[in-house]
């Protein structure tokens, strides 16, 4: 009989960061929850529960948000905070405890000293700082420590190197789908967690943000509510109202034609398995399912591949040689106009479409994919250099987008500004061989005036709101939250 603990360690989703046998004297298995902020369809939680069941121990989740998460501000933290009670409720159904300890009680190692686990399980995040935190823990922890790649369909390690385009990673992903696009399951802990009386923890409803010194210049988003329950409502709305029309409507910013799931995926409040399997099971036409799964799986996991394997994922140095040569040749091209930071951040350029998209992002934390491409391309055209454009794009995308600070954002910016995952196009001033986008091109693709008008009316209401656009079939105004 193979050792069941060894079988878990051998799972390609699992990375053993500190090896050894789980401590038989340990009181429990701890899941240190960071990126995968959900209690269902969560492979990291599953590994913790399965290991605990083998070891005959209970499971406790340690969730400890901190105010120094890079580039996070009130908008992001508020969304995270809205999700905590859903985590607690979902864990209770699986007989798993939650110890919620926001900063300043956030330190993992003292918590481990208190509960003395047999094994520590974490989730994974390819971004620089969270990866460093995991490495640091692995150096210091006294028990075995595994992390689980829980927020991708195909474990990102299996891609082995940086891929240069969707066309190279697509076949590698597709050949693994039969194995990995399967329900993760939701095992229940055999032994329920009982918190020792002396163990400190905050109530999940506590206003922990009030005491934190964080950037409060970006307001919380009122109408897109965080949490797994809200994520499931958004998914249901998408499946019943938008999936069928997705291929035709996804490139129309004036129509609510996409899922609106990116903030929930970013915070791990919903996982890609839940979304992909629900789409597969739906009655939508095959073309619609394929178009959506291409974005959710291939494009999203290409972005994760980029961040995982390219240390320069958030700066200019990530660019390919052809792009470097071409942009250098055009570095001194006169720009049609150069705007300063203030004009751009306030959305005060001569382009009403760009202004609308920028102001909408600042107000609501949301921008449609087509406009994100347009927005970044125009930054390249209107900045004194590619380096300045790059800095602006990363800073504002991370600051204002609710789904910012995500591999998708870094890959999207690299695509727009330095042709990452793209190919050389016809030579143009400023852009060189990087693909350009124009206002006239946008007018040919969708109803620019309707979009600009919607954004103006939304701003008039003068309060932070979710992405609210006209539903194509009913003409109703509706929000992505479906609330
Ligand atoms: P849908 O069309 O409903 O797609 C479903 C899911 O597929 C999305 O939630 C997302 O996870 C994934 N997806 C969709 N389009 C892409 C794409 N082009 N690349 C990778 N994955 C994709 N996405 C973010 O999540 N965070 C960001 O900060 C971000 N910044 C971007 C910046 C630029 C300059 C560009 C060009 C793109 C950026 N994107 C970002 C990618 C994309 O615009 C968003 O993921 C998408 O608009 C989210 O809307 P949705 O959930 O309704 O998407």
Q: Is the CB of 301 under 6 A from ligand 1?
A: no
Q: How far is the CA of 296 from the centre of ligand 1 (A)?
A: 8
Per-residue pLDDT, 464: 46
For domain 312-463, say whether CATH 3.40.720.10 is its number.
no
What backbone torsions phi and psi does residue 362 show, to the nearest 5 degrees?
A: -60, -40
Per-residue pLDDT, 269: 98
Q: What tokens appear for 342 in the block? A: 């203030």
Question: Atom 16 of ligand 1 has which residue's CA nearest to it?
Answer: 295
Cα(190)–Cα(28) distance, rounded to whole angstroms?
A: 12
Q: Is the overall model pTM greater than 0.85, yes or no? A: yes
Looking at the chain, the domain(s) classified CATH 1.25.40.80 span: 152-183+225-309
From the alpha carbon of 376, which atom of ligand 1 is closest? 34
Residues 6+ apart with CB under 8 A from 413: 314, 376, 390, 393, 394, 397
The answer to whether 347 and 447 are in contact (CB under 8 A) is no
Per-residue pLDDT, 38: 98
Q: How far is the CA of 365 from the centre of ligand 1 (A)?
A: 13
From the alpha carbon of 397, which atom of ligand 1 is closest? 28
Cα(372)–Cα(277) distance, rounded to whole angstroms?
A: 27
From the alpha carbon of 375, which atom of ligand 1 is closest? 34
> Which of 3.40.190.10, 3.60.15.10, 3.40.50.620, 1.10.443.10 is the CATH number of 4-151?
3.40.50.620
From the alpha carbon of 398, which atom of ligand 1 is closest? 28
Per-residue pLDDT, 77: 98
Q: To which residue do tokens 């039969």 refer?
A: 178
Determine which helix (DSSP H) or strand (DSSP E) holds 33, and give its type and residue range.
none
Cα(410)–Cα(430) distance, rounded to whole angstroms?
A: 21
Crossing angle of helices 84-93/228-237, nearest 10°?
90
The answer to whether 370 and 445 are in contact (CB under 8 A) is yes
Looking at the chain, the domain(s) classified CATH 3.40.50.620 span: 4-151
Q: What tokens appear for 149 in the block? A: 């790649």
Cα(374)–Cα(456) distance, rounded to whole angstroms?
A: 19
Per-residue pLDDT, 470: 38
Per-residue pLDDT, 459: 78
Query: By C-alpha distance, which of 143, 160, 153 is closest to 27?
Result: 143
Q: What tokens appear for 155 in the block? A: 């474990």
Question: Atom 11 of ligand 1 has which residue's CA nearest to it?
Answer: 262
Q: How far is the CA of 325 from the centre of ligand 1 (A)?
A: 28
- Ligand 1, from 295, 354, 396, 397: best to mutate by most atoms within 8 Å of Cβ? 295
Per-residue pLDDT, 1: 61
CATH class of residue range 152-183+225-309: mainly alpha
Cα(362)–Cα(365) distance, rounded to whole angstroms?
A: 6
Q: In this predicted model, what pLDDT tens digit does every residue of 120-172 receive, in sequence order?
A: 999 999 999 999 999 999 999 999 999 999 999 999 999 999 999 999 999 99
Q: How far apart are the first and last CA of the chain?
A: 51
What does the longest C-alpha to C-alpha distance in the chain come to?
Answer: 71
Cα(383)–Cα(379) distance, rounded to whole angstroms?
A: 6
- Ligand 1, from 76, 125, 369, 434: best to mutate by most atoms within 8 Å of Cβ? 369
Q: Which residues share a beta bridge with 148?
A: 14, 123
Cα(377)–Cα(175) distance, rounded to whole angstroms?
A: 34
Question: Atom 3 of ligand 1 has which residue's CA nearest to it?
Answer: 259
- Ligand 1, from 79, 275, 301, 412: best to mutate by most atoms within 8 Å of Cβ? 412
Per-residue pLDDT, 480: 33
Q: Is the CB of 201 under 6 A from ligand 1?
A: no
Looking at the chain, the domain(s) classified CATH 1.10.579.10 span: 312-463
Q: Is the CB of 261 under 6 A from ligand 1?
A: yes
Cα(108)–Cα(128) distance, rounded to whole angstroms?
A: 19
Q: How far is the CA of 258 from the centre of ligand 1 (A)?
A: 10
Q: Which residues share a beta bridge with 120?
A: 30, 145
Distances (CA, A) of 156 to 110, 113, 181: 31, 32, 14
Q: What tokens appear for 128 in the block? A: 């620089």
Q: How far is the CA of 250 from the centre of ligand 1 (A)?
A: 11
Strand, coil or helix: 402 = coil
Per-residue pLDDT, 462: 56
Q: How far is the CA of 397 from the centre of ligand 1 (A)?
A: 12
Question: Atom 13 of ligand 1 has which residue's CA nearest to it?
Answer: 295
Identify the segments of the chain with pLDDT beneath 50. 464-483
């Amino acid at each position: 009989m193979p050792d069941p603990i060894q079988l878990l360690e051998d799972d390609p989703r699992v990375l053993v960061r500190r090896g050894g046998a789980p401590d038989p004297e340990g009181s429990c298995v701890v899941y240190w929850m960071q990126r995968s902020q959900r209690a269902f369809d969560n492979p990291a939680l599953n590994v913790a529960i399965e290991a605990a069941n083998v070891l005959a121990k209970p499971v406790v989740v340690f969730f400890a948000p901190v105010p120094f998460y890079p580039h996070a501000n009130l908008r992001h933290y508020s969304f995270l905070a809205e999700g905590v009670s859903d985590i607690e409720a979902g864990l209770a159904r699986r007989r798993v405890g939650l110890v919620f300890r926001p900063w300043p009680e956030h330190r993992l190692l003292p918590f481990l000293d208190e509960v003395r686990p047999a094994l520590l399980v974490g989730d994974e995040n390819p971004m620089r700082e969270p990866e460093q935190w995991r490495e640091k823990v692995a150096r210091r922890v006294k028990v075995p420590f595994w992390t689980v790649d829980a927020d991708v369909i195909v474990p990102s390690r299996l891609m082995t190197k940086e891929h240069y385009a969707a066309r190279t990673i697509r076949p590698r992903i597709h050949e693994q789908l039969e194995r990995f696009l399967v329900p993760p399951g939701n095992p229940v802990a055999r032994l329920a967690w009982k918190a020792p009386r002396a163990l400190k923890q905050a109530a999940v409803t506590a206003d922990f943000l009030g005491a934190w010194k964080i950037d409060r210049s970006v307001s919380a988003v009122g109408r897109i509510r965080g949490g797994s329950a809200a994520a499931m409502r958004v998914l249901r709305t998408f499946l019943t109202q938008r999936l069928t029309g997705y291929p035709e409507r996804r490139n129309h910013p004036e129509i609510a034609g996409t899922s609106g799931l990116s903030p929930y995926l970013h915070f791990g409040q919903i996982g890609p398995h839940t979304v992909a399997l629900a789409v597969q099971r739906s009655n939508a036409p095959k073309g619609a399912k394929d178009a959506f799964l291409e974005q959710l799986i291939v494009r999203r996991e290409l972005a994760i591949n980029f961040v995982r394997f390219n240390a320069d994922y958030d700066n200019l140095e990530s660019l390919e040689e052809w792009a470097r040569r071409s942009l250098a040749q055009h570095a001194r091209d006169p720009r049609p106009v150069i705007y300063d930071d203030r004009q751009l951040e306030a959305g005060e350029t001569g382009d009403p479409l760009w202004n609308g998209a920028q102001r909408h992002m600042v107000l609501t934390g949301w921008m449609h994919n087509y406009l994100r491409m347009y927005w970044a391309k125009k930054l390249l055209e209107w900045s004194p250099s590619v380096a300045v454009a790059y800095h602006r794009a990363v800073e504002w995308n991370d600051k204002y987008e609710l789904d910012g600070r995500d591999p998708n954002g870094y890959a999207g910016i690299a695509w727009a500004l330095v042709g990452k995952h793209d190919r050389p196009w016809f030579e143009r001033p400023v852009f060189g061989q990087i693909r350009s986008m124009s206002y006239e091109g946008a007018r040919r693709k969708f109803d620019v005036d309707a979009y600009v008008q919607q954004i103006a009316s939304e701003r008039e209401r003068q309060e932070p709101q979710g992405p609210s656009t006209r539903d194509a079939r009913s003409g109703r105004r509706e929000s992505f939250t479906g609330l």
